[in-house]
Amino acid sequence: MEVIFLGTSCMIPTKERNTSAMLLTFNEENILIDCGEGTQRQLRIAGIKPTCITKILISHWHGDHVLGLPGLLQTLGASEYSGRLKIYGPQGSKEHVEKMLQAFVFSNKVDFEVFDITKTRFFDGKDFYLEAMRLDHSIDCIGFSFVEKDRIRINVKKAEKLGIPEGPLMGELQVGKPIIVKGKKIMPEEVTYTVSGKKITYIADTVITDNCMKLAENADLLICESVYASEHENKAEEYKHLTARQAGMIANQANVKQLVLTHFSQRYKNTQDIEEDARVVFDKIVCAEDFMRLKL
Ligand SMILES: [Zn+2]
Ligand SMILES: [Zn+2]
């Protein structure tokens, strides 16, 4: 599982930072989260083919989070993109995409589908699920959690001792079913153990709200916007953003293991003030840079 930061600036791209986007890679899934202007070029620079993207999650429809969509869709339409691209966003996303596409002339269209998210667990796959919760920004905005499902593994030594042959019986145990070996019933809990899945949460533009803590609860990695340091708390409140300190408070209260701050105002020439501001309340912090990669 890996997260690649493709844009870490708020509002406008700077020389060092592009606007919001990140790619979450897990097995065959490549989930693009937000798609600021120029995201497809960022992908190229990172050595990632846009055609690998399987899903796009949109936090909200402010330009710095979505202006890269039409260009990316055009590129995918002109490429050999196999499969159907799934785009998920807050209510109204379907309409936004329709209107956006009306504004341009595309000669080839990629096969895609847009979903307005209406429930918390909006995608449930074989080995992971996705959750969304409403945040509190100046327009409808949602945060996301990617949750890997727990895996049941066989304790090989114990299995050998009990004489369980390799093959379908092992599979039965892994889905929690008892088996019979040499006339003896073996319960799954006798020979299996659980490997906990990892959780990654992304909190996009918002002021602090209960859902921030709920969404990030026990996350292994929390990626959180922090446009300002506390000295500009008034501005954060006015524009409905978080300060780094508040991001730290969320991490602390939600019991997350690691916090990555992103979405910085261009007023900061480096992230020292931002990092120090959050460090007052939370210790395990990294400030994101464009093209930074984090493996879990
Ligand atoms: Zn933003
Ligand atoms: Zn915004």
Q: What is the pLDDT of residues 30-79, one digit of tens each?
A: 999 999 999 999 999 999 999 999 999 999 999 999 999 999 999 999 99
205 is catalytic: no
- Between CA 197 and CA 271 the distance in angstroms is 31
Global pTM reads 0.94
Q: How far is the CA of 282 from the centre of ligand 2 (A)?
A: 24
What tokens were used for 142? 């949602």
SS (H, E, C) 51-76: HHCCEEECCCCCHHHHCCHHHHHHHH
- Residues with Cβ < 8 Å from 167, sequence gap 6 or more? none
Residue 209 contacts residue 249 (beta carbons within 8 Å): no
> Catalytic: which of 34, 64, 205, 290?
64
Q: How far is the CA of 279 from the centre of ligand 1 (A)?
A: 22
Provide the terminal-to-terminal Cα distance of the chain, rounded to the nearest Å.
Answer: 5
Q: What digits encode the pLDDT tens for the residues 124-168?
A: 999 999 999 999 999 999 999 999 999 999 999 999 999 999 889
Q: How far is the CA of 29 from the centre of ligand 2 (A)?
A: 26
Stronger pLDDT, 182 or 128, i.e. the higher one = 128
- Flag whether pLDDT at 82 surpasses 90: no
The ligand placed nearest to the CA atom of residue 226 is: 1
Q: Give 226-270 as a DSSP string.
A: --B-GGGHHHHHHHT--BHHHHHHHHHHTT-SEEEEE-B-TT-SS
Mean pLDDT to the nearest integer, 96-108: 91
What tokens were used for 162? 């009990």
The ligand placed nearest to the CA atom of residue 262 is: 1
- Flag whether pLDDT at 108 surpasses 90: no
The ligand placed nearest to the CA atom of residue 141 is: 2
* Number of C-beta neighbours around residue 16 at 10 A: 13
Split at pLDDT 50, 70, 90, the class of 186 is very high
Q: What digits encode the pLDDT tens for the residues 197-256?
A: 999 999 999 999 999 999 999 999 999 999 999 999 999 999 999 999 999 999 999 999
Torsions phi, psi of 114, nearest 5?
A: -110, 135
- Flag whether pLDDT at 176 surpasses 90: no
Residue 12 contacts residue 64 (beta carbons within 8 Å): yes
Least confident of 39-43, 70-74, 109-113, 173-177: 173-177
∠ CA 79-55-111, rounded to 5°: 45
**pLDDT at residue 48, rounded to an integer:** 97
Strand partners, 222: 201, 259
**pLDDT at residue 233, rounded to an integer:** 95
Split at pLDDT 50, 70, 90, the class of 18 is very high
